[in-house]
Amino acid sequence: MITPKPGIMDIAMYQGGQSALPGVDDVVKLSSNENPFGASPMAAEAYARSVHSLHRYPSADHFELRTAIGEVHGLDPDCIICGAGSDEIIHFLCQSYAGSGDEVLYTELGFLMYRISALAAGATPVEASEPERVTDVDALLAACTERTRLIVIANPNNPTGTMIGGGELARLADGLPDGALLVLDGAYAEFADGYDGGAGLVAGRDNVFMTRTFSKLYGLGGLRIGWGYGAREIIDVLNRIRGPFNLSQAQLAAAEAAVRDRDFADRYVAENRRLRVWLAEAMAEIGVRSDPSCANFVLARFADAAEAGSCDAWLRQAGIIVRSAAGYKLPHCLRITVGDEASCRRVAHAMRAFKESRE
Ligand SMILES: Cc1ncc(COP(=O)(O)O)c(C=O)c1O
């Protein structure tokens, strides 16, 4: 039997958030950090229009989408690459820059796909400690070796919801060994007040790269669109391994309309900001703690894994699906997407009933 390359069989398959509960109607899914308000109607219209050109190959250079992203974010479109989700961009980075004998470094509570992409490239995944559920720049710098090629951090991070500021990011970038690239995963960047996702840092340095997604803010997780921004030389490298038609016409059209619909995006950011505070306070009132979140979810902390598991089961019975953080080495935590107001109220109500049932 043919054998796969080293590392491939060490990959544990990524599990997506559950979306249905057998026998329960009226389920609210808060397990994948999706936009509770759906996608922009303009994106939906653009998607629908693409039905008229199904026989045509899509653009291979994504010029229009890159131009739209560049205009909205004030970035040079030539320094942008688009992919099937930001997952694909991270995959391109690992495939291009990390192979056998190289190390891909991330934080111990970092997003699970970093390990998968590192192993798929034949590289060695390395974790830096993350005390207090916050990215630790000193731990990352201490974990760097001459084999470190990529350092990937999500800022804000999933599943913790915490982030580090511009000063810390710059200190990290400045302290990296030569030949290493800092990748700032900005999947949740728009939910953090006053944060540019690291774009400013990229502009001033050639050892920093930023990834972004249409899956969270723009509610297009089902379509799979993400992008990356970095030095032209890096974009050139990544484009060489990118499939020329990695994005369909429907993806390109919907993403372009979505990024141009600022009202829709701004409304969601404002509503998320209001409701994540409300939800965290409602949880705190019943003794469930969480770190201040900079994303579109909160990480609820329980006394231990048993209590978190019981609360998860209780919420499911109430038709609410949240995400256990056990796979992220946080078995005493549940990650809960900030939904719309009705969903947040439902979570708070069910959690209160859970807590009272145990008094
Ligand atoms: C931190 C982080 N990065 C990247 C992604 C992947 O996003 P995409 O849907 O763009 O592949 C996610 C999705 O949950 C995420 O949480």
Question: Are the C-beta atoms of residues 98 and 237 closer than 8 Å to each other?
Answer: no
**Is 268 a pocket residue for ligand 1 (Cβ < 6 Å)?**
no
Separation of CA 318 and ligand 1 centre (Å): 27
Question: Are the C-beta atoms of residues 103 and 126 closer than 8 Å to each other?
Answer: yes
Separation of CA 214 and ligand 1 centre (Å): 9
d(CA 72, CA 337): 26
Question: Are the C-beta atoms of residues 258 and 42 closer than 8 Å to each other?
Answer: yes
**Is 117 a pocket residue for ligand 1 (Cβ < 6 Å)?**
no
Nearest to residue 142, comparing CAs of 115, 178, 176? 176
**Tens digit of pLDDT for each residue in 244-292?**
999 999 999 999 999 999 999 999 999 999 999 999 999 999 999 999 9
Residue nearest to atom 15 of ligand 1 (CA): 187
**Tens digit of pLDDT for each residue in 65-91?**
999 999 999 999 999 999 999 999 999
Residue nearest to atom 16 of ligand 1 (CA): 158
**Is residue 201 predicted with pLDDT exceeding 80?**
yes
Which residue has tokens 């991070």? 157
Strand bridging mode 148-154 / 181-185: parallel
**Quick one: which atom of ligand 1 is closest to the CA of 185?**
3
Separation of CA 215 and ligand 1 centre (Å): 7
Report percent pLDDT > 90 for the chain. Answer: 94
Separation of CA 305 and ligand 1 centre (Å): 25
Distance of CA 138 to the CA centre of its chain: 23
The pLDDT value given to residue 139: 98
Residue 5 φ then ψ, to 5°: -65, 155
**Is 107 a pocket residue for ligand 1 (Cβ < 6 Å)?**
no
Task: Work out whether the CA dihedral 26, 30, 35, 36 comes out positive or negative.
Answer: positive
| β-sheet with 323-324: strand ranges across | 297-301, 333-337, 323-324
Residue 302, class by beta-carbon neighbours within 10 Å (0-12 exposed, 13-18 middle, 19+ buried)?
Answer: buried
**Is 111 a pocket residue for ligand 1 (Cβ < 6 Å)?**
yes
**Tens digit of pLDDT for each residue in 94-124?**
999 999 999 999 999 999 999 999 999 999 9
Written as one string, the DSSP assignment of 39-102 is S-HHHHHHHHHGGGGTTSPPPSS-HHHHHHHHHHHT--GGGEEEESHHHHHHHHHHHHH--TT-
Distances (CA, A) of 214 to 43, 81, 298, 357: 11, 13, 20, 40
**Is residue 359 predicted with pLDDT exceeding 90?**
no
The pLDDT value given to residue 89: 98
Separation of CA 184 and ligand 1 centre (Å): 12
d(CA 186, CA 163): 11
Separation of CA 119 and ligand 1 centre (Å): 18
Distances (CA, A) of 344 to 156, 161, 231, 282: 21, 17, 41, 9
The pLDDT value given to residue 101: 97
Distances (CA, A) of 14 to 24, 43, 322, 328: 25, 28, 16, 12
Residue 160: both structure tokens together:
């913790």
**Tens digit of pLDDT for each residue in 120-153?**
999 999 999 999 999 999 999 999 999 999 999 9
**Is 237 a pocket residue for ligand 1 (Cβ < 6 Å)?**
no
Separation of CA 55 and ligand 1 centre (Å): 30
**Is 230 a pocket residue for ligand 1 (Cβ < 6 Å)?**
no
**Tens digit of pLDDT for each residue in 300-327?**
999 999 999 999 999 999 999 999 999 9
Separation of CA 68 and ligand 1 centre (Å): 21
Residue 103: both structure tokens together:
């190390």
> In whole numbers, what is the pLDDT of the chain averaged over residues?
96
Distance of CA 46 to the CA centre of its chain: 24
Residue nearest to atom 12 of ligand 1 (CA): 187
d(CA 229, CA 241): 16
CA triple 71-213-290, angle to 5 deg? 120
Strand bridging mode 297-301 / 333-337: antiparallel
Q: Which of 152, 163, 185, 218 to mutate to test the pocket of ligand 1 (most atoms within 8 A of CB)?
A: 185
The pLDDT value given to residue 21: 83
The pLDDT value given to residue 25: 80
